[in-house]
Structure 1
Amino acid sequence: MFLVTLARAAEPREEPTVLQALDAAAIRRWAAVCVRSLDAQRDAIDGINVFPVADGDTGSNLLGTMRAALEALLRAPVDERSEVGAALTVLAKGALAGARGNSGVIVSQMLRGLAEALRDIDQAGAVDLGKALVRAAELAAGAVAEPRAGTMLTVLTASAAAARRVRSGVLHEVTAAAARAAGEALVLTPQQLDVLAEAGVVDAGGRGVLVLLESLVTVVNERDEPVVPYSTSVQSPVAAREAGSAEFGYEVMYLLDSTTDKAAIELRDKLGQLGDCVSVVGDGAGLWTVHVHCNDIGAAIEAGVETGRPHRIMVARFADAEGAPTRFGRARVVVIPARGAGIAALFRGEGALVLEIGPNDEPDVWDLLNLITSTGASHVTVLPGDEGLVGIADEAATRAVAGGQDVVVIPCASPVQALAALAVHDPARRSGDDVVSMAEASAATRRGELVVTSQDAITWIGPCQAGDLLGFADGDVMRIEHGPVDAAMVIRGACAVVDRMLGAGGELVTAMLGADAPEHLADELEKHLRSAYPAAEFVAYRGGQRDSVLMLGVE
């Protein structure tokens, strides 16, 4: 095998061919690859659309815009002998006429910038493309009334700057640098927009820009299928509009002609008084695309009539999207932060997703948030299983809800309560009914615990010293055994706590043995129950927790 490998390595290999310049044929292939790539990644992009209000159609809008651009190019009298600028001009006009949503409008301006920079050029080389990408970024930024860092504009600007810095004069090095910089900028978008960080996603529009640049890399490297060496893998919840405030219920778009540049600027100001996400952008030849989110549809259209001739008017009501099929990968999951490897394994065995917290680790809200958002579930039930974890569970849930997920935290002060809740979980039930059943099961489970105290303290039944064994029933100290602690003391204390708890009734006793529990503790406790409470069932698990010798649950 070693000799064969050497022989193959010695054989001369053909160097892969790459384009030295972009011509009209390359632009046509690029548009086609963009459409194929956006079609393949539409759901993934739709699913990470959370800024600034959750939506779920950025991928669909980008795909619709590029399809319109490609169709315009295929219908136009542009052949392989045409100038690259001429092909891009047709592509940009088609994108503008068929632009969908904010992202579509921005892409149409990106294409227009490329067309303007490469006008009257037969073939575009590396230097030409670098300049054109800078112009594309400038026009795209001009399409947005209030640009924000961490969006598709940021990704496009970073790619243009990187392409402009390449001095080699080699086309594929320019496209590779642009795509690489776009990928790096995309990864940083959660650091620039809090809502992205909280949802655990990158910007959806920025991801779309990366797809377009990756498609260009594919064409320049003369591949048939898209190559995506710079892609960023993301998972996350779906979102309810592509951009803008939830205050406005409608998206209004139309094409506008028979107007002037000055009138178009005035129209942008008028629409800004009616709503948000306003863009009024042109193709440089008298055609404008108008976009606004508002409540007064008539006023938005009337403003267009006063400015010029609106046509191809489209109105969408955001509330209608509520009935659309969900793009979450699954319907419902249960998430549990847990201390102790044994407890974590127990919950995993019952089908829950677990954030295992090590004995020396501090619980982190971001770790839990990342787990919640990465589930891809539309509804998440969180069972903290520890009084010290309820706070981070609440905060993580609040942030995940802001990103579009339905997250409910069921208060559980002990793993035995979380286990009881998980036991009645039924994914076939309505989510609301299931949450109620789990909450009732948790609340109905009384909890007990044996802990070796690490410091002197005063309890309501008397003082204790470091090294004493404390028995708890439902959070209250009910027994103090003065140390040093031995196996007999632990067994005696466990039986006393169970007696106190079963005094109020109960049919099932659950024991979770800590890392320091005596070897025969479960056997001795079961023997005591069989003698004193023969009707009670008993089950024991090796929890492995370090903070308590024994945890008990009574149902």
Structure 2
Amino acid sequence: MDGRVLTSWARTAVAGLEARCEEINSLNVFPIPDADTGTNLLFTMRAALEAIDKYAGNDGHQTDVRQVAIALARGAVAGARGNSGVILSQVLRGVAEAAVTGVVDTRTVRTGLLMATNLVTDAVSYLVEGTIVTVLRCAADAAAEFPDDAPVADTARSAADAAAAALARTPGQLDALGTAGVVDAGGLGLVVILDAFVAAVTGERPDRAPIALRVPRRQPSPDSGTESSDVELPDTSDDLAHRGHHSACESSHQDFEVMYLVADTDEARMAELRNALDELGDSTVIVGDGDGGWSVHVHCADAGAAVEAGLDAGRVHRIRVSSFLVDAREQGRLLPPVRTRPDQDDRGIVAVVAGDGAADLFSGEGATVLRCDAAPVTRAQLLGIIRQLGRREVLVLPNGALSAQELVAVSAAARDSRHEVLLLATSSMVQGLASLAVHDPEREAVDDAFAMSEAAAATRWGSLRIARERALTYVGTCEPGDGIGLMGHEVIVIEPDAVAAGKRLVDVVLGAGGELVTLLMGAEAPAGLDTELADHISQRHPGVEVMVYHGGQPGDLLQLGVE
């Protein structure tokens, strides 16, 4: 068999991936559950197929095994999408490196899979068992059992069967898969591709028993091990993706997938690039096409830094940056769509809050509360509660709990043609309370959000804390136990006594005027502090109204808002 069988393989693989793309996407929970593994494999295989005409031409070279194999590899490396696509490109490069006999035979298959395994092992910074890499290695091991003169059909079938068997074992090898109750998405894609090779060689698709793509979920044991669960995973792929995304977003701080090609470089500079990217993020994969071109893939929090690192290695082109949360909204698969009930299409408010008393205040004003007492709020938690509201319009009061970058990503992921999510610039709970005071559900959402944001912006806020350690500030050095007063995020008052610090803080903040002071007392506030400060305001700033609430928030002795 000559190069035409490779062309047939590529076409059959594209068709197989098209047929099972959504199924593969629905299994995607590792390394990032962004529900696009099937899509990435399909894009990569299409790029490989299209490269045959570009590099092998239509002048008879498509019968040349090596010419076609090289074309497939170059096209796949240049067009690779995602982690799985980059790994697939190395499978095709392995075949290209092995295609030296002029025919597609057992030696080509055996050597190609072995070289592909070696290339992938070198390309991936940190190998994890239970992924597409494991499935590839098992296929290569099975092909290695055949001598050069064995029928290529037998070798191909054995490799594909071994891959399918390895795929079925992946939930027991990788905790993320076992917990979600699924096999590895990339591994399934590789089985589809190897089955396509069998079909191209023999003219028939493998007649295999259905692979159990969803298996009983495991729950982590108290000893950090795992134990089997008799609960079967529902067939709803959206539900699966939702659970997987929530888990991964809580354990990963990487916001972006960055991919680009590098030319005019060498292996030493690419090795330096790998080290730099490993410092910036994870899931680093760097592969070559065998002809001087390189494809780079990394998950990171700073996309700009990842691209800048590439510029130091060579000529960077075809840069592609994806935001996991934003892409999830576009794909419509990462999380299930909000189902808005006919009787609940009004406006909802979400507030991030710490402290029992503060939670009661916000919920009493009609807000849905997301607590942040014990641990910082994650993007996944905020996105989840927005979706659970089932409201057509949602106003979010972050109250300083998340960064602007995180909030924009959540808003983009939650917003679609039927749902509007508006972020209010509340940097503290006292600003959140001020904004809630002017909330009017009868106004248009954008007008309501504007009025509430304006109220928050007009509220000068500060906080009173106890210094935990010695530190240098703009107003001097504080010692452990000192009372420190902050205006926004800057220290403006240091006093040995917390009450004295609170009084000075009030005087400084009210020095610019004000009609209403809100004191939100924290869980660690000393007894009588609220009364002393209220009396001090009445005596030193007559005419200023004082409102005292017991928020119970940890950390701050109090939050102070002036309107």
Indicate the residue corresponding to 2:87 in structure 1.
Answer: 106
Matching of residues 513-528 of structure 1 within 5 Å: none
Structure 2 counterpart of 1:154, one-letter code: T
Contact 2:245 2:334 in 1 (8 A): no
Residue of structure 2 aligned with 1:163, choices 143, 146, 159: 143
Q: Distance in 2 between matches of 1:110 and 1:242?
A: 30
Matching of residues 138-217 of structure 1 within 5 Å: 138-167=118-147, 169-217=150-198
In the alignment, does 2:248 pair up with 1:268?
A: no
Q: Distance in 2 between matches of 1:211 and 1:243?
A: 26
Indicate the residue corresponding to 1:55 in structure 2.
Answer: 34
- C-alpha deviation, 1:324, in angstroms: 3.4
- C-alpha spacing 1:197/1:242, structure 2 compared with 1 (3 Å): closer
- C-alpha spacing 1:241/1:60, structure 2 compared with 1 (3 Å): farther
Indicate the residue corresponding to 2:3 in structure 1.
Answer: 24
- C-alpha spacing 1:315/1:52, structure 2 compared with 1 (3 Å): closer
Indicate the residue corresponding to 2:202 in structure 1.
Answer: 221
Residue of structure 1 aligned with 2:290, choices 284, 292, 295: 284
Indicate the residue corresponding to 2:53 in structure 1.
Answer: 74
Contact 1:255 1:288 in 2 (8 A): yes
Matching of residues 398-413 of structure 1 within 5 Å: none
Indicate the residue corresponding to 2:557 in structure 1.
Answer: none
Deviations 1:490-537 (A, max 9, x none): xxxxxxxxxxxxxxxxxxxxxxxxxxxxxxxxxxxxxxxxxxxxxxxx
Indicate the residue corresponding to 1:451 in structure 2.
Answer: none
Contact 1:159 1:182 in 2 (8 A): yes
In the alignment, does 2:133 pair up with 1:133?
A: no
Indicate the residue corresponding to 1:86 in structure 2.
Answer: 67
Contact 1:57 1:242 in 2 (8 A): no
- C-alpha spacing 1:134/1:147, structure 2 compared with 1 (3 Å): same
SS of equivalent to 1:234? coil
Q: Tell me which structure has the larger Cα radius of gyration.
A: 1
SS of equivalent to 2:287? strand
Q: Distance in 1 between matches of 2:122 and 2:293?
A: 16
Deviations 1:404-426 (A, max 9, x none): 99999xxxxxxxxxxxxxxxxxx
Structure 1 counterpart of 2:48, one-letter code: A
- C-alpha deviation, 1:74, in angstroms: 2.5
- C-alpha deviation, 1:295, in angstroms: 1.8
- C-alpha spacing 1:228/1:76, structure 2 compared with 1 (3 Å): farther
Structure 2 counterpart of 1:212, one-letter code: I
- C-alpha spacing 1:315/1:329, structure 2 compared with 1 (3 Å): closer
Could you say what the CA RMSD is over the residues aligned between the two structures, in angstroms? Answer: 3.0
Contact 1:240 1:321 in 2 (8 A): no
Q: Distance in 1 between matches of 2:186 and 2:308?
A: 30
- C-alpha deviation, 1:248, in angstroms: 1.0
- C-alpha spacing 1:87/1:315, structure 2 compared with 1 (3 Å): same
Deviations 1:273-293 (A, max 9, x none): 111111221112211111111
Q: Distance in 2 between matches of 1:243 and 1:286?
A: 35
- C-alpha deviation, 1:325, in angstroms: 5.0
Q: Distance in 2 between matches of 1:309 and 1:325?
A: 31
- C-alpha spacing 1:72/1:231, structure 2 compared with 1 (3 Å): farther
Contact 2:132 2:184 in 1 (8 A): yes
Indicate the residue corresponding to 1:412 in structure 2.
Answer: none
Matching of residues 327-476 of structure 1 within 5 Å: 327=333
Indicate the residue corresponding to 1:314 in structure 2.
Answer: 320
Indicate the residue corresponding to 2:21 in structure 1.
Answer: 42
Q: Distance in 2 between matches of 1:280 and 1:188?
A: 27
Indicate the residue corresponding to 2:550 in structure 1.
Answer: none
SS of equivalent to 1:285? coil
Q: Distance in 1 between matches of 2:338 and 2:246?
A: 23
- C-alpha spacing 1:230/1:69, structure 2 compared with 1 (3 Å): farther
Contact 1:267 1:304 in 2 (8 A): yes
Contact 1:150 1:190 in 2 (8 A): yes
- C-alpha spacing 1:313/1:332, structure 2 compared with 1 (3 Å): closer
Indicate the residue corresponding to 1:476 in structure 2.
Answer: none
Indicate the residue corresponding to 2:396 in structure 1.
Answer: none
Q: Distance in 1 between matches of 2:247 and 2:74?
A: 23
Q: Distance in 2 between matches of 1:182 and 1:308?
A: 37
Indicate the residue corresponding to 2:398 in structure 1.
Answer: none
- C-alpha deviation, 1:222, in angstroms: 1.9
Q: Distance in 2 between matches of 1:36 and 1:153?
A: 23
Contact 2:33 2:245 in 1 (8 A): yes
SS of equivalent to 1:149? coil
Contact 1:277 1:292 in 2 (8 A): yes
Q: Distance in 1 between matches of 2:73 and 2:246?
A: 25
* Structure 1: stretches of 5+ with no match in the other structure: 1-20, 334-400, 409-429, 431-555
Contact 1:277 1:293 in 2 (8 A): yes
- C-alpha deviation, 1:241, in angstroms: 11
- C-alpha spacing 1:158/1:56, structure 2 compared with 1 (3 Å): same
- C-alpha spacing 1:405/1:106, structure 2 compared with 1 (3 Å): farther
Structure 1 counterpart of 2:300, one-letter code: C
Structure 2 counterpart of 1:283, one-letter code: D
- C-alpha spacing 1:242/1:146, structure 2 compared with 1 (3 Å): farther
Contact 2:277 2:306 in 1 (8 A): yes
Deviations 1:193-219 (A, max 9, x none): 122111111000100110110000111
Q: Distance in 2 between matches of 1:191 and 1:131?
A: 29
SS of equivalent to 1:166? coil
- C-alpha spacing 1:241/1:268, structure 2 compared with 1 (3 Å): farther
Contact 1:126 1:169 in 2 (8 A): yes
- C-alpha deviation, 1:116, in angstroms: 0.6
Q: Distance in 2 between matches of 1:301 and 1:243?
A: 24
- C-alpha spacing 1:329/1:292, structure 2 compared with 1 (3 Å): closer
Indicate the residue corresponding to 2:520 in structure 1.
Answer: none
Q: Distance in 2 between matches of 1:289 and 1:189?
A: 27
Structure 2 counterpart of 1:131, one-letter code: T
Structure 2 counterpart of 1:192, one-letter code: Q
- C-alpha deviation, 1:177, in angstroms: 0.3
Structure 2 counterpart of 1:86, one-letter code: Q
SS of equivalent to 2:144? helix
- C-alpha deviation, 1:76, in angstroms: 2.7
In the alignment, does 2:219 pair up with 1:246?
A: no
In percent, how many aligned pairs have the same letter? 41
- C-alpha deviation, 1:254, in angstroms: 0.6
- C-alpha deviation, 1:234, in angstroms: 2.1
Contact 2:27 2:184 in 1 (8 A): yes
In the alignment, does 2:330 pair up with 1:324?
A: yes
TM-score of the two chains, using structure 2 as the length reference: 0.52
Structure 2 counterpart of 1:141, one-letter code: T
Matching of residues 492-531 of structure 1 within 5 Å: none
| More displaced stretch, 246-255 vs 75-84 | 75-84
Structure 1 counterpart of 2:15, one-letter code: R
SS of equivalent to 1:146? coil
Structure 1 counterpart of 2:79, one-letter code: G
SS of equivalent to 2:34? coil
Structure 1 counterpart of 2:325, one-letter code: A
